[in-house]
Amino acid sequence: MSVLLDTGIVYAYYDRSDRWHGRARAFIEGERRGLILPAPVVPEVDHLLGHRLGSKSRQTFYTGIIDGYYLIADLPAPGYTRVADLNRRFAELGLGFVDAAVVALAETLGVSRIATTDRRHFEPLAAALSLQIVP
């Protein structure tokens, strides 16, 4: 079964010092296929890896994309309207573009599982929108 990956889980997979690293690694390596990386997540992960871990970690991430470890999913045009709608509906959460885009993609693709470390934003979304947060 496919799963959408949020920024935090991907970053934690690469950063051995992150408190989520063990869980992220076990989860991502346990999935083996169906790892959907939303295109809006890519620049966030790239920035965090480069800023916190350096260029070598960025290159490792790029290799994962190039080698097909992740399936990159772009947000379709109607998804931008959904991003705005989600930010309005859940204004108290302060979602921002990327988190709302992950949810919009989940809805577009019919994927209910989202892998994330961000429980503050995604738990209320999951409860309201019938999503499953993992790990």
Q: How many CB atoms lie within 10 A of CB 13?
A: 23
Residue 1 has pLDDT above 90, yes or no: no
| Integer Cα distance of 131 and 111 in angstroms | 8
Residue-wise pLDDT tens digits, 85-121: 999 999 999 999 999 999 999 999 999 999 999 999 9
Sign of the CA dihedral with 38 first, then 40, 45, and 50 last: positive
Residue ranges and CATH numbers for the domains of the chain are: 3-134 (3.40.50.1010)
Give all strands of the β-sheet with 71-73 in edge-to-edge order.
Answer: 71-73, 35-38, 3-5, 113-115, 132-134
Supply the pLDDT for residue 45: 98
Residue-wise pLDDT tens digits, 11-51: 999 999 999 999 999 999 999 779 999 999 999 999 999 99
- Give the distance from CA 131 to its chain's centroid: 14
When pLDDT is cut at 50, 70 and 90, the band that residue 59 belongs to is: very high
